[in-house]
Chain A
Amino acid sequence: MEQLKIDFDKVIESLKLSDENINSRKKNFNQFIENGFPNKKVEDWKFSDLNQIISSNIENLCFHSDLELSEIDETIFIDKFAHNKIVFLNGAISNIDFNYEDDTKVLLTRDLNQNENFKEVNPLVSLNNALTASYIRVTVKENYSFNKPLIIYNITTKDLKSTALNLKTDIVLEKNSSLKVINLFDDNSENNFINIVQNFDIAQDATLKNYKIDHKTNSNIKYCYNNINLEKNSISENFIFSTGSKFIKNEINCNLNDEYSSAFINGILNLTKSQHHEIKTNINHLAENTKSYQLIKSVLNDNAKGIYQGKIYVDAKAQKTNGYQLSKALLLNENTEFDGKPELEIYADDVKCSHGATSGNLDEDAIFYLMSRGLSHQQSKELLIKGFLLDAVEKITDEEIKNLIKDMMGIVE
């Protein structure tokens, strides 16, 4: 903790911050110091003891990095379709490119003092608030629809080791605007803790499609917190492709603040070895006629661990809510573990809410059927596993991005 205080002072010193901002950061810093990294005694973290995970994977975690920007290896950029870019390289913003858009319709700011999103949510968000050195806000003006998707690249290079990175993005969609954003991880570093906080404000009639891709195998420990505010008749579609990191917890808090807003959160966990991934959602239905839909599919191999905690809260005002969540897990080995915790908290009486969860192994009869057609045991298993996961991938409404993810899964059509 001594080192953490020294690092905190270094961060504050290195950034040009207003007094107000510094005070707020100090408050957040103290909140983190009081609580530390969450452990399994904290209800939300009972399946993922982050304190233990960090201490057993990372020695001498450093919270301040003065790495110089290195060259970006451009081959990691997606070449399947044209897109806008924001590149975080080892925690610093190295590249911003909105060439496909009308620059009067898209506002960008990187001014840390303008980031007012200092809410007390949990110690990790507080830690992020205290230490963020890289920040960007993208505002999409009223009635503007992006021509091309925005890919936010989170790249780390080999130079980086045992460092905590704290990144923050705000996305603001004004009325009747639309944006597709992909958060893509490309980890080449080892044993870092990456803490990402993103806030999405989606105004009336606006549509956000938000896809997260953690695909490349890596030894980093990650926490991603997304807060989504939805206004009248707006839509948020989310997909989480979770297969790369040693540990990642994706937490989504989604507020359906006004009528006819809807949220979709689908995702897959596809894990091997000792990977440990969690998806945690809080969907808050706060107005009438709001809708939420969640489908999470998990495939666990070796001694991997997967967790899905999904909570649907329906406020007394939120009549005619339609809430749905389903989790299905395939456990391919007896050493795997899947923990599911569905929660419904309902205070309105005219609502439609349902949840379901299944877990089990592959269907032996289905394997027999495929093998009787000449497929090997391995081929049959792979086909069934991909088919199982595809069910969730098919929910992606953007064809380009759906095909990108299918490609990454090795699905050829």
Chain B
Amino acid sequence: MLQIKDLKAKIDNKEILKGLNLEIKSGEVHAIMGPNGSGKSTLSNVLSGKKGYTVSGDVTYLNENLLDLEIEERAHKGIFLAFQYPLEIPGVNTNIFLKTSLNAIKKAKGEKELDAIEFLKLVKQKASELKFDEKILSRQLNVGFSGGEKKKNEILQMSILNPKLSILDETDSGLDIDALKIVSEGVNALRSKESSFLIITHYQRLLEYIKPDFVHVLINGQIVKSGGSELALELESKGYENLS
């Protein structure tokens, strides 16, 4: 599904990613762990198309050159980024935003757009699966949401948009254990042969709930070690320092 070869990314003339290689196949869950400043968020930003980076290398997604695609085209083709810090958008109703987003993607795929009733039915179902209070959805997007509500809202968007490749950027940070369980269940419910996940995290904690197929260690812009889910436990006990 996704092949990354020798990916380099610079911002303000500072090189953050320094030749990263990674392959994710359909149905796989990959976790990327690494200390602060190792380039984890840069990787998720570059994959979803955020402007401001000077990027080189090859990234192939579903047999297309991903780096040639605009931000919204990547979303149309099934890439979803759950933000580490979801933005507050004053004046924009959450439900209207969700519907606009879903229909933009459906339209790009040539599928029939949902009308208001069909959409509400879908949103109700998904919200109740995530134990997410529907009332929140009539509020302004993320405005005044608690940290946990913002993260749940990201997962709700993910489950409504049903992406092929989901990138979760430190989704576990700021979540208490109950919220963490709910979010993990939401992610696990989406696991299938057709969908893949890239989970970026600091801690092993999230990986107790979402069991990855592969764990990679990102240090100083490069993947220095890869392994199975047991690598996460090893990192937890030994730390990153013994790796580099």
A residues with CB within 8 A of B:
363-366, 368-377, 379, 383-384, 386-391, 394, 412-413
Contact = CB atoms under 8 A, between A and B. Distances in A.
Interface stretch (B20-28, B68-76, B181-189, B197-205): B68-76
A368 B90 contact: no
Nearest to B105: A374
Contacts of B97: 370, 373, 383
Interface in B56-79: 70-72, 74-76
12 contacts: A369-B83, A371-B49, A371-B70, A371-B72, A372-B71, A372-B72, A372-B80, A372-B81, A373-B75, A374-B75, A375-B101, A388-B90
Contact of A366 (B76, B89, B93, B140): B89
Given A364-B51, A373-B75, A373-B161, 6 more contacts: A370-B89, A370-B97, A372-B75, A374-B72, A374-B161, A375-B101
Interface string B93-113: 100110011101100100000
Contacts of A394: 91
A363 B92 CA distance: 14
B177 to A, nearest CB: 27
B48 interface: yes
A251 B86 CA distance: 41
Nearest to A366: B87
B72 A377 contact: yes
Contacts of B74: 372
Given A364-B51, A368-B50, A368-B51, A373 B101 contact: yes
B104 A375 contact: yes
A390 B140 CA distance: 11
Nearest to A363: B87
**Interface residue tally of chain B, by bracket?**
20 to 34
B75 A371 contact: yes
Contacts of B92: 383-384, 386-387
A368 B53 CA distance: 13
A364 B101 CA distance: 18
Contacts of A366: 87, 89
Contacts, number: 76
Contacts of B72: 371-372, 374-377
Contacts of B100: 375, 379, 383
Contacts of B71: 368, 371-372
B91 A390 contact: yes
B42 interface: no
Contacts of B161: 373-374
Contacts of B91: 386-391, 394
A358 to B, nearest CB: 13
B51 to A, nearest CB: 7
Contacts of A370: 89, 97, 101
Contacts of B48: 372
B41 to A, nearest CB: 13
A364 B93 CA distance: 19
A389 B92 CA distance: 10
Given A383-B97, A387-B90, A413-B96, A372 B104 contact: no
Given A375-B101, A379-B104, A369 B90 contact: no
Nearest to B85: A365
A400 B52 CA distance: 44
**Which 8 residue pairs across A and B have the least CB separation, nearest first?**
A387-B91, A374-B75, A390-B91, A373-B101, A371-B71, A374-B104, A387-B92, A374-B105
B104 A413 contact: no
Contact of A369 (B70, B76, B80, B86): B86
A405 to B, nearest CB: 14
Contacts of A371: 49, 70-72, 75
A299 to B, nearest CB: 12
Contacts of B89: 366, 369-370, 383-384, 387
A373 B48 CA distance: 10
B157 interface: yes
A396 to B, nearest CB: 14
Contacts of B102: 374
Nearest to B81: A372
A363 to B, nearest CB: 8
B106 to A, nearest CB: 9
A411 to B, nearest CB: 9
Contact of B140 (A368, A369, A372, A387): A387
Contacts of A375: 72, 100-101, 104
B42 to A, nearest CB: 14
Interface centre among A376, A388, A389 (most CB of B within 10 A): A376
Nearest to A387: B91
Contacts of B104: 373-376, 379
Nearest to A380: B72
A379 B70 CA distance: 14
Nearest to A297: B91
A265 to B, nearest CB: 20
Nearest to B77: A374
A374 B101 contact: yes
Contacts of A373: 75, 97, 101, 104, 157, 161
B12 to A, nearest CB: 15
Interface in B192-222: none
Contacts of A386: 91-92
A372 B140 CA distance: 18
A394 B81 CA distance: 31
B200 to A, nearest CB: 15
Contacts of A376: 72, 104
A59 to B, nearest CB: 42
Contact of A413 (B70, B75, B87, B93): B93
A374 B76 contact: yes
A25 B133 CA distance: 65
A408 to B, nearest CB: 16
A223 to B, nearest CB: 30
